[in-house]
Structure 1
């Protein structure tokens, strides 16, 4: 053990993962089943188990970063507070009117997610601020006072306030909050002018409502987490992973919980970016598959791509517009409901379908022996021989192979008239195809070509399916880091303290006052410095990145481009950056039309930690022989089950080459090396799997060379 000692904990839908890191990299890992009824309990359990097993005193831990899917799950499952919405008079139905757009023009049974606030709790408040920030009608304070009393009578716990054009003038929202705090100080209040101070009424209102809806739940969870951390003996409370790839204090995360929506998945993308930079592969695809979902993110120039639009609780997972929009900075990734716990079934058309519902950790897949009856992806992978029933979680959890076989035969194979093994491979291959199709669409939307891009694979189920997804995408290289099953928790420690700010100032580019623009940036920088100084950073450690949302005059949507506000030629630079980005996205040059700016953005950040994510060779067991034995594994290209060598990853030395078919096992995940492929061990323990052409020669026994 050397230097600083940090831990990362990631709560997923099925497992809660943990890593312990020092200056040399990942030195210990832990994994326990998630406790959905009380998430912090699993966090405490995995910390106590892992530190105890490693003989580490909790008081020696210098940093703790945590990521969770709590906010996403609360919105999907509707487990938030009873929330009221205060709108400008005439705008109470904005949540249902939305964009007045049908995401599927020809679907006569079109569905939309139910608003988080029912109509009887949405109120027209007499007030009006105009688009330039001037006041047309003062706030009716007497109306707000009476309304607050009525809200208390109806058990309201949170209030979202989203008045028209408050991004230009927040005075009325602030007045309303002061009234609420005076009459009902226990109510949670979210202002749109603080949560998302930018143009577009529907998105701003929806985001503010989501923030208010989960605030009490998240605050209760963070308080519980803080208390349990102190009880364990950790010297400092945790930092929380945000969706944008930065981390924040508990107080900041509790005030803006909507920014934690993609908290957990962000870690996998950050880990992929760190590995890509370290290995000289700055452009790649990050594929993370856990127990509930699979995610894919494009990594460009050593950093994950970031978007400012996100949807949660989509009615149709591949149809933008069918979910609840949340306007926050978020690592841009595609997520589909196929993970190890995803349930397979025969649909109404007699076809095999997998997910999006998951068995989770309770009851879990059939093979867990915890009461599950529906076959899942994990059950299929077990039946195919890709998983060892006696070595799941390093042998701490034995899987029921015959239970999995029986469930797949009864629910899938017999109705389709195929063998249980063919049904299991159908489940496995369906997941690979679904993820590859989604990833292909996502890459193309980003102006990227997925063919030939290396695939970084992580999550407990990611290495099992990585080669299949890569083949379907046309990729030839799969990167599998040591500790792949928990690498998201390690990725948290590559993230700096950071926060995003936005100010909307709709104006034609040629008419913008440069001094006014710089004042807007300076105000956001000051907010960022205040938050980061409160988090413990010094002023000389804080830096700011500036950007603008730009579009052609008359267009409906904009493109985010960087800007140097102190440059004398900032207009020319901004226009050149916009035209370059436009051509990259749309593969054509734009028209000769003037540009306009909708919003200015600032990312205030501290220094990124210089954290290694490699796993030293002394981590884990060190058997004398790398080859553990042989077991039958199912490969259609070889006619079905084939005697397949199994290797202990901890014993594979740098430079070792394993030819497929083969299976490489570690405690938290398993890498499947298919026929017509080879796997090479890098100096840092990373496995590089290369998919070869059918003409390539491979060793038939998979022996390492």
Structure 2
């Protein structure tokens, strides 16, 4: 028999979250420990050992561990990758600085762009040239390639990224460079754009390949330490990794392309919101994920998260598209909409309250953690407003220091603003809520959605604290708050299928597309995907084909699901998606294909959220003063674990669990449903 327990682990900027699932009866056991930034695997190992010991589970009874991490994103943002070299076609070494020549702020004379990960002296050119269709115009100069590889080796690089012009159409030159590198520098990590991003777009393709090479040795060492630690802890089951598109792959597969894990943690949260929404009968969901460092939003339509092939990291302007390093990787589409619980609040030179983007993270953490932090954070403000209980944070495992929070808020916020500490704390709380609601509304508008019709699913430790006020500002009338919202991303890892997406660039007019050659290419991609999924020990259950298409002459493409490989069906699918996005189609313009994506998925795990019965119904713990309507009022306090199915609660109320607290203002009601969700009706 298979080992009965599965573990999901998510490393966040402040906390590392864990969920232990007993597959025999559906019981879930949650854990939360402070992240150890300088050795992220340590928090994972400590959390796993503690969770198993707490619930009397033997390590050999763990079937596998599924993991998501911010390590890749943090290494790029903080520039903690390895010294990397770049090889490209002669005449193209400066593409990474020229970019697309678009300005993310037209009117800023001092506009900055992120510095390239590879300085110019380590970007070397090789004489060779391919044509757009993959034909060879200039053969590869192998002597020059060897010389360039040796030069980078002597300069001390630990990784090399290779991106040749039009290599997506013909990888022959890049693969020959890989053979030469194996002879000249076998100890240096090598990444080929034709393996990682076989698509058009030289700038984005090169940027993605460089980013992958930059973090690959760092991630490989981390993965080796984590796997060794799990073996020492007695867990013999495999380690799986969550990808940024919501799929799960074996550790060995993820180690080749770590850049595809850049959004793995948030992707787990969206997977959780998908399952939670479906259980509550809400297929259209706005996932609101507010953790310790950031807040993110994602739209789920008809039970399916929106996905994209474009992402940015290390933005100079945190909320401005185009100000970061572009990555061409499959991701669950989400946007950063605001601050997290650990984000630092301050008063700027104009006397306005600003929150973030910097975070107190877990070291030293918010002032109220008592770990040396002195800056006021969102968590400190929520504590002063009575939304958090100092003695029951993390189920009582951590006592919050109210005096330290009040001192930080008084000195850094209240005095400059001329307000009391509580008034200053509410100014921060309201500033954060307003900013997040505005950003989420704009995101929905850009996606041609009416956000009022969505159901809000708040996750993350701080999500339920702020969710009702965010929903009110968005005009959303219904909210579904899951059990264990504070560890939802880790739960989402357990809900995601084993899956992998493969991409191929193919620029061709639809009218002249060689359908037989296309079928052969897609069959090969499917076979490769099936093999990757099989490495995780499961059989493929779903094959999904998507095409990137555009009208001839356009610079951007639209992705559409393709059911049949005939021209009429392909064009109809493209124009249906184009009409949804832009409200019209150009029926007289020819259509061209830009690329194809095949996603191979294993069976979706069947998680019954209502498998474990609710509590006895004796959930009321007492009352606490909380700030509503410009004053402190007496709010009832409930223990969520003791709620009985069907029980209803009216605000003002505070519903506590180990990982988070749901704040119910006056005029709202919450009902505990059969799936252990709290369904909130917002007045």
User: What is the TM-score when the length of structure 1 is the normalising length?
Assistant: 0.95
Q: Which residue of the partner structure matches residue 699 of structure 1?
A: none
Q: How far 1:279 sits from its partner (Å)?
A: 2.2
For 1:492-507, list aligned pairs within 5 A. Answer: 492-507=493-508
Corresponding residue to 1:629 among 610, 622, 625: 622
> Could you tell me how far 1:613 is from its partner in structure 2?
4.0
Q: Which moved more, 1:431-440 or 1:216-225?
A: 431-440
Q: After TM superposition, give the deviation of residue 310 of structure 1 in Å.
A: 0.3
Distance 1:71 1:188 in 2: 16
Aligned length: 681
**Whole-angstrom distance in 2 between the partners of 1:565 and 1:523:** 17
Pairing of 1:361-440 with structure 2 (within 5 A): 361-440=362-441
Q: What SS does the aligned partner of 2:528 have?
A: helix
Q: CA deviation at 1:73?
A: 0.4
Deviations 1:429-472 (CA, angstroms, capped at 9, x unpaired): 11111111111111112211111311001111000011011011
Q: Which of 640, 645, 668 lines up with 1:654 in the alignment?
A: 645
| CA-CA distance at 1:46 after TM superposition | 0.4
Are the equivalent residues in 1 in contact too, given 2:560–2:574 (CA < 8 A)? Answer: yes
**Which residue does the alignment assign to 1:521?**
522
**What do residues 13-70 of structure 1 show as CA deviations (whole Å, max 9, x unaligned)?**
0000001112343421110000000000000000011110001111111121111111
Could you tell me which runs of 5 or more consecutive residues in structure 1 were left unpaired when the two chains were aligned.
693-705
Deviation at 1:573, TM superposition (A): 1.2
Deviations 1:642-695 (A, max 9, x none): 111101111111111111010000011000001111111111221111111xxx
State the match for 2:562 in structure 1.
563
Q: Does structure 2 retain, via aligned residues, the 8 Å contact 1:26–1:490? A: no
- 1:7 aligns with 7
Name the CA distance, whole Å, in 2 between partners of 1:303 and 1:381.
Answer: 33
Residue 134 (structure 1) aligns with? 135
Q: After TM superposition, list the pairs within 5 Å mapping 1:173-184 onto structure 2.
A: 173-184=174-185
Equivalent residue runs for 1:104-119 within 5 Å: 104-119=105-120
Displacement after TM superposition at 1:317 (Å) = 2.2
Q: Distance in 2 between matches of 1:222 and 1:237?
A: 12
User: For residue 585 of structure 1, what is the aligned residue in structure 2?
Assistant: 581
What does residue range 455-470 of structure 1 map to in structure 2 within 5 Å? 455-470=456-471
Q: Which runs of 5+ in 2 are unaligned?
A: none
Where does 1:29-178 land on structure 2 (aligned, <5 Å)? 29-178=30-179
Question: Is the contact made by 2:609 and 2:675 (CA closer than 8 Å) also made in structure 1?
Answer: no
- CA–CA distance in 1 between the matches of 2:546 and 2:563? 8
Residue aligning to 1:325: 326
Counterpart residue number, 1:695: none
**d(CA) in 2 for partners of 1:167 and 1:491?**
33
Partner of 1:668: 659
Spell out, residue by residue over 1:338-384, the C-alpha distance to the aligned partner (whole angstroms, 9 max, x if none): 00100000112221000111000000000001110110000000000
Equivalent pair of 2:409/2:421 in contact (CA under 8 Å): yes
Inter-partner Cα distance in structure 2 for 1:216 and 1:454: 41
CA distance in 2, matches of 1:191, 1:523: 19
The CA distance in 2 between the partners of 1:589 and 1:177, in whole Å, is: 44
Could you say which residue in structure 2 is the equivalent of 1:609? 605
Conserved in 2, the CA contact under 8 Å of 1:477 and 1:690?
yes
Q: Partners of 1:200 and 1:485 in 2: how far apart? A: 39
Question: Partners of 2:572 and 2:135 in 1: how far apart?
Answer: 34
Q: Name the counterpart of 1:481.
A: 482
8 A contact 1:546–1:565 mirrored in 2: no
Contact kept in structure 2, 1:583 and 1:590, CA below 8 Å: no
Whether the 8 Å CA contact 2:254–2:260 is kept in 1: the answer is yes
Alpha-carbon displacement from aligned partner over 1:220-241 (angstroms, at most 9, x marks no partner):
0111111011111112131000
* Cα pair 2:564 2:570 within 8 Å, conserved: no
551-560 or 527-536, larger mean C-alpha shift:
527-536
Q: Note if contact 1:253-1:260 (Cα within 8 Å) is conserved in structure 2.
A: yes
1:641 aligns to 2:632 (yes or no)? yes
Q: Say if 2:617 and 2:644, in contact at 8 Å, map to a contact too.
A: no
